[in-house]
Chains A and B, each alone.
Chain A
Amino acid sequence: MLILTRKINEKLIIDGTIVVSVIEVRGDMVKLGIDAPRSVKVFRSEVYDAIQAENRQAAASGLQLPDIGLGSRE
Chain B
Amino acid sequence: MMTIHTKALGDLDIDERQLLTFQNGLIGFDKFQRFALLDAPQKPYFYLQSTELTELNFILLDPFLFRPDYEVDVPDELSQALGMKQADDALILAIVTVPPEGGTITANLMGPLVICRNSRQGIQVVLSDPRWQIKHDVMAELATSRK
Spell out A's residues near B (CB within 8 Å). 38-39, 41, 43, 47-48, 50-73
Partner of A63, one of B7, B29, B110: B7
Tell me how far the C-beta of A66 lies from the nearest C-beta in chain B, rounded to whole angstroms: 6
- Interface residue tally on B, bucketed by range: 35 or more
Contact B128 A61 (CB under 8 A): no
- Picked from A50, A61, A73, the residue with its CB within 8 Å of the CB of B59 is A61
Determine if B95 and A58 form an interchain contact, defined as CB atoms under 8 angstroms apart: yes
Task: Find A61's partner among B98, B135, B139, B142 (CB 8 Å cutoff).
Answer: B98
* A interface secondary structure, majority: loop
Q: For A54, give its contact among B57, B62, B97 (CB under 8 Å).
A: B97
User: CA separation between A59 and B139, bound complex, in Å?
Assistant: 20
Interchain CA distance A53-B106 in the complex, whole Å: 14
Min distance, Cβ B58 to any Cβ of chain A, angstroms: 6
Residue from B66, B96, B101 having most chain A Cβ neighbours under 10 A: B96
Q: Beyond A39-B77, A68-B142, is A55–B100 a contact (Cβ under 8 Å)?
A: no
Q: In the complex, A38→B42 CA distance in Å?
A: 40
Q: Please tell me if the beta carbons of B111 and A51 are within 8 angstroms of each other in the complex.
A: yes
Which residues on the B side are within 8 Å of A38 (C-beta)?
A: 75
Q: Write the chain A residue with the least CB distance to B41.
A: A65
B97 touching A57, Cβ below 8 Å = yes
In whole angstroms, how far apart are the Cα atoms of A14 and B32 in the complex?
29
Q: How far is the CA of A67 from the CA of B96 in the complex (A)?
A: 13
New A-B pairs, 14, CB < 8 Å, besides A39-B78, A51-B111: A43-B128, A47-B110, A50-B134, A51-B126, A55-B28, A57-B97, A58-B96, A58-B97, A62-B101, A62-B102, A69-B142, A70-B43, A72-B43, A73-B44
B27 touches A62 (CB 8 A): no
**Which residues of chain B have C-beta atoms less than 8 A from A64's C-beta?**
98, 102
Residues in chain A near residue B134, CB distance under 8 A: 50-51, 54
Assess the A54–B100 pair: CB atoms within 8 A.
no
Residue in chain B with minimal CB distance to A73? B44
User: With A50-B134, A64-B98, A68-B142 in contact, do A55 and B126 touch (Cβ < 8 Å)?
Assistant: no
